């Protein structure tokens, strides 16, 4: 495969971030009891102590709107300061219209005409949306872009699957970005996305599109509605491809790993985070790890970790963050950001 040319830095600045978690929390001891396991068994095997699960009145678009309001409040800005909304969820609230439009409506902007559209790269949606927003801002199409990742994976989990049922949690994150001015150092230094469609069946939800239809058989449709993941095969493939991918990403950004103040990963699983820490030789304080309290939140997972790093002061103005993760596809994605 031909070498990919280095990407030019984009003058992107994160203005603020906000988050929303559903009210109801599910402790891992619930799963211990369900499967007659010793107390602590599920937490040890999943890496998750508790996670939030949305109730019926906490729709993905509503949660996304709450996260957006949080981000705007932190920035001291209002709804009129949004020029574009990009939704980067892993699983949409409904097939059509796009989730960004539903978030726009939930924000009270349904008559505003603000451009609103979706991107979908499953758990890597935020990385793709960040690059897209940076490009649009660099072209001066917009002043400020709101990126929202709001996912409810609990809606599609098989409650009897010990691999997936305790791993995932629900939540929403919003990140407001703008074009960095000439006197600001903020920039999106590089982004990368690699997709390997031969691994498409390793992580999937076969229904809710046109491939498998309800009238083909209600029972088969019901069974295929659940999230399906071949965890071991997915982990092996991602781990095999990660070192070369990471090397290319850092080289295109003109920085090495030591120059990154924090590493912000997609919270795929405890095993995946442990592997990343071993491969990179990272001290615990440099790896942002929120899996235990949040679970894997699909597309919201990576920006939720970034949001936490900002709240904790682990990433400050002028500092560098490496965003890295895997997604269904099979896909690898990442970004290097100078905050």
Secondary structure element (H or E) that encloses residue 286, with its range = none
Q: Where are the beta strands (DSSP E) in the chain?
A: 12-20, 24-27, 50-53, 84-87, 116-118, 144-151, 171-179, 187-195, 203-204, 228-229, 262-265, 320-327, 331-338
Residue 8: φ, ψ to 5°: -75, 145
Q: Is 275 a catalytic residue?
A: no
Q: CB within 8 A of 220, min separation 6: which ones?
A: 212
Contact 144, 83 (CB under 8 A): yes
Contact 312, 296 (CB under 8 A): no
**Which among 123, 149, 203, 260 is annotated as catalytic?**
123
Contact 88, 121 (CB under 8 A): yes
C-alpha span between 69 and 66 (Å, rounded): 5
As a whole number of Å, the end-to-end CA separation of the chain is 32
Q: Is 123 a catalytic residue?
A: yes
Q: In 3D, which of 325, 328, 299, 305 has the Cα closest to residue 93?
A: 299
Q: In 3D, which of 126, 338, 330, 302 has the Cα closest to residue 233?
A: 330
For residue 224 the two structure tokens come to 């295929």
**How far, rounded to the nearest angstrom, does the alpha carbon of residue 248 sit from its chain's CA centroid?**
21
Q: Collapsing DSSP states into helix, strand and coil, what is residue 36? A: coil
**How far, rounded to the nearest angstrom, does the alpha carbon of residue 124 sit from its chain's CA centroid?**
6
**Which among 45, 203, 260, 296 is annotated as catalytic?**
296
Contact 288, 263 (CB under 8 A): yes
User: Mind telling me the catalytic residues?
Assistant: 123, 266, 296
């Amino acid at each position: 495969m031909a070498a990919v040319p280095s990407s030019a830095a984009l003058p992107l600045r994160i203005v603020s971030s906000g988050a929303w978690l559903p009210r109801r929390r599910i402790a891992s001891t619930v799963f211990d009891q369900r499967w007659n396991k010793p107390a602590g068994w599920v937490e040890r095997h999943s890496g998750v102590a508790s996670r939030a699960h949305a109730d019926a009145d906490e729709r993905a678009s509503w949660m996304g709107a709450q996260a957006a309001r949080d981000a705007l409040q932190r920035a001291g800005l209002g709804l009129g300061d949004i020029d574009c909304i990009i939704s980067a969820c892993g699983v949409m609230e409904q097939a059509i219209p796009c989730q960004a439009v539903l978030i726009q409506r939930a924000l009270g902007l349904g008559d505003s005409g603000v451009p609103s559209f979706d991107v979908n790269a499953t758990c890597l949606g935020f990385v793709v949306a960040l690059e897209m927003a940076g490009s649009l801002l660099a072209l001066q199409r917009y002043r400020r872009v709101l990126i929202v990742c709001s996912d409810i994976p609990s809606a599609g989990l098989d409650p009897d699957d010990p691999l997936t049922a305790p791993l995932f949690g629900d939540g929403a994150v919003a990140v407001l970005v703008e074009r960095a001015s000439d006197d600001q150092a903020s920039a999106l230094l590089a982004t990368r996305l690699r997709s390997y469609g031969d691994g498409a069946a390793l992580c999937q939800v076969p229904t809710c599109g046109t491939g498998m239809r309800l009238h083909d058989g209600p029972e088969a449709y019901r069974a295929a509605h659940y999230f399906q993941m071949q965890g071991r095969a997915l982990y092996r493939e991602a781990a095999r491809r990660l070192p070369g991918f990471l090397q290319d990403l850092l080289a295109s950004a003109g920085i090495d790993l030591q120059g990154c103040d924090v590493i912000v990963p997609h919270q795929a699983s405890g095993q995946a985070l442990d592997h990343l820490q071993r491969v990179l030789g990272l001290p615990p304080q440099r790896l942002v790890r929120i899996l235990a309290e949040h679970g894997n939140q699909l597309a919201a997972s990576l920006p939720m970790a970034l949001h936490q790093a900002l709240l904790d002061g682990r990433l400050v103005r002028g500092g560098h963050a490496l965003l890295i993760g895997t997604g269904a596809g099979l896909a690898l994605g990442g970004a290097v950001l100078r905050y």
